[in-house]
Amino acid sequence: MLAKPAPRNVNLGSDRFAMFNKKRDIPMNELDMRLFARNAGVNIAYPAGSVVFTQGDPGNSMYIVQSGIIEMMIGERVIEVCGPNEAIGFMSMIDSAPRSSTARVKEAVELSIIDQRKFRFMVDEVPNFALYIMGVMARRIRGMSRVM
């Protein structure tokens, strides 16, 4: 079992959004949340075969994939494969419902964990974050319709 890393202090100075404020109109498909997520959240690694969360678990955080591959599953069926710069577990941040799927590590991953407080802060303060999440949701909904 991996030990959780100790939380790091995050610089909350006026330059914290410099990478976003300079380019407010970044196209959705080019928005890279990894740097911000790495600095805003706690980072943790999981080896291949691990489960990050299970369908039905309470959802008190979301994750940004820094590296590696995650399989999103319902039952034994893989419904989506997520790689670097993908958000997982965010639906529970929006509606407080239990996890709708299981996140299984296909290839060793490093994840940035974003808790509810940081999620709300990012929605309010980080340009394009809400659009980023909506874009991921739209892709997931479209993907689900293809899988089913």
If you average pLDDT over residues 5-16, what whole number do you get? 37
Is 113 part of any domain?
A: yes
What pLDDT sits at residue 95?
A: 92
Is 12 part of any domain?
A: no
The domain in which residue 87 lies consists of 28-147
Domain count along the chain: 1
Of the listed ranges 11-20, 93-102, 112-121, 129-138, the least confidently predicted one is 11-20
Of the listed ranges 16-30, 103-117, 120-134, the least confidently predicted one is 16-30
Is 52 part of any domain?
A: yes
Provide, rounded to the nearest whole percent, the portion of the chain with pLDDT above 90: 51
pLDDT above 90: residue 68:
yes
Is 110 part of any domain?
A: yes
Is 4 part of any domain?
A: no
Reference 86, options 64, 71, 106, 103; nearest CA is: 64
Specify the residue for token string 């805003």: 40
What pLDDT sits at residue 1?
A: 45
Is 86 part of any domain?
A: yes
What pLDDT sits at residue 24?
A: 39
**Average pLDDT score, the chain:** 79
If you average pLDDT over residues 41-67, what whole number do you get? 94
- Residues 78-105 as b or e (16 or more Cβ within 10 Å = b): ebbebeebbbbbbbbbeeeeebbbbbbb
For residue 75, count other CB atoms closer than 10 A to its CB.
Answer: 9
What are residue 114's phi and psi, to 5 degrees? -115, 115
Residue 98: half-sphere exposure toward Cβ, Cα within 13 Å: 7
Provide, rounded to the nearest whole percent, the portion of the chain with pLDDT above 70: 75
Between 40 and 128, residue with greater pLDDT: 128
Rounded (5°) CA angle 64-65-67: 150
Reference 78, options 141, 137, 139, 147; nearest CA is: 147
What is d(CA 41, CA 65) in angstroms, rounded to the nearest whole number?
Answer: 12
If you average pLDDT over residues 18-31, what whole number do you get? 43
pLDDT above 90: residue 103:
yes
Question: Residue 62 sits in a domain of what CATH number?
Answer: 2.60.120.10
pLDDT above 50: residue 11:
no
Q: Per-residue confidence at 148, pLDDT binned at 50, 70, 90?
A: low
